Homo-oligomer: A and B are copies of this chain.
Amino acid sequence: MKRVTERGTVDFVPPSDRIAAFDNDGTLWPEQPNCIQFIFVVDRLKSLAQVNPALRRTEPFRTVLAGGLDGLATLGAEEIIEIIKTTQSGMSTEEFSGIVAEWLGTARDPRFGRLYTDLAYQPMLELLDYLSANEFKSFIVSGTGADFIRVFAEETYRIPPEQVMGSTTATEFRLGETGPVLMKIPQVEVLQDGTGKPVAIDRFIGRRPIFAFGNSDGDAEMLQWTAAGPGARFVGLLHHTDANREWAYDRASKVGRLDKALDLAHANDWTIVDMKNDWKIVFLTENDSPR
């Protein structure tokens, strides 16, 4: 940090170029046993089925309504997109944000018994604050829906909506009776893990980060892209090693597999954070006051 923020040194980076890119799931909050957006999607599908029971008889909805997250896990990518379309379109962008906000305000992680936003990793929140205090601008680059993350990112991470990149459901501008609305339509553009992350960074940010943090193979290309720029760089990888306080998984995990990126980190001297040994706390307890 000293190298890039001290004027007059060879590695000095002007504040406007202090761009940091973060993966979200498994990097800023948990992704086990499933990405949190998928838990939302299953809950939302259940609500929709109460209004429209025909969903219980139609695949791929039936599988998810009958089997929950385990059912969802058996589906292929196209079927999952079908579920996303059904649960996340047909309403205005504002209605959707309201639905997500309501869910985040009530749904609790079954293992920890906490609101999901309370499970943002405390050391990462401190890191975000530290970067911000040093005039970095932090972005999220995630395969999860941008409009899902945007609902809580500003309050939880202090990352404003315009610094959140993710998968998107297309919207359509309509002039309704009460004025213009943006309706979410059943058309999904996935921000792909892997090469899709540096591509999205170029598209949304238009310059290369000098700092990037991820936790899985899906982040490898984003980390490589960040590492390969000129001057001082920070590339971090969170290794989930703490089955007691959070989860332990890496090379064999289906969700958030960390294999190739771990090898790259060792080979290239990236910073590996060992959750069990490096983090004094993972989550604040319910009695702690937020940072």
Rounded to whole angstroms, the CA-CA distance of A172 and B198 in the bound complex is 9
Q: Could you tell me if B221 and A198 are in contact, using CB atoms closer than 8 angstroms?
A: no
Rounded to whole angstroms, the CA-CA distance of A221 and B205 in the bound complex is 24
**Which of the segments A44-52, A146-154, A246-254 contacts the partner chain?**
A146-154
Q: Could you tell me if B228 and A161 are in contact, using CB atoms closer than 8 angstroms?
A: no
Q: Indicate with 1 or 0, residue by residue over A199-231, a CB within 8 angstroms of chain B CB atoms.
A: 100111111000000000000010011001000
Q: Does any Cβ of B come within 8 Å of A180's Cβ?
A: yes
Q: Does any Cβ of B come within 8 Å of A8's Cβ?
A: no
Q: Does any Cβ of B come within 8 Å of A287's Cβ?
A: no
A contacts with B, residue count (CB < 8 A):
36
Which residues of B have CB within 8 Å of A160? 16
Which residues of B have CB within 8 Å of A19? 162
Rounded to whole angstroms, the CA-CA distance of A256 and B146 in the bound complex is 33
Which residues of B have CB within 8 Å of A205? 161-162
Min CB–CB distance A164 → chain B (angstroms)? 7
Min CB–CB distance A189 → chain B (angstroms)? 9
Which residues of B have CB within 8 Å of A207? 161-162
Rounded to whole angstroms, the CA-CA distance of A162 and B160 in the bound complex is 13
Q: Could you tell me if B199 and A172 are in contact, using CB atoms closer than 8 angstroms?
A: yes
Rounded to whole angstroms, the CA-CA distance of A211 and B202 in the bound complex is 26
Rounded to whole angstroms, the CA-CA distance of A180 and B212 in the bound complex is 15
Which of B173, B198, B204 sits near A162, CB closer than 8 Å?
B204
Q: Does any Cβ of B come within 8 Å of A132's Cβ?
A: no
Could you pull out 21 A-B pairs where Cβ atoms are within 8 angstroms?
A: A16-B154, A16-B160, A19-B162, A93-B202, A146-B203, A150-B206, A161-B206, A161-B207, A162-B162, A162-B205, A162-B206, A168-B203, A172-B199, A173-B195, A173-B198, A180-B221, A180-B224, A180-B225, A182-B199, A182-B202, A204-B204
Please give the residue numbers on chain A whose beta carbons come within 8 Å of chain B beta carbons, in ascending order. 16, 19, 93, 137, 139, 146-147, 150, 154, 160-164, 168, 170-173, 175, 179-180, 182, 195, 198-199, 202-207, 221, 224-225, 228
In the A-B complex, the 7 residue pairs with the smallest Cβ-Cβ separation, listed nearest first, are: A161-B206, A173-B195, A179-B228, A162-B205, A150-B206, A173-B198, A180-B224
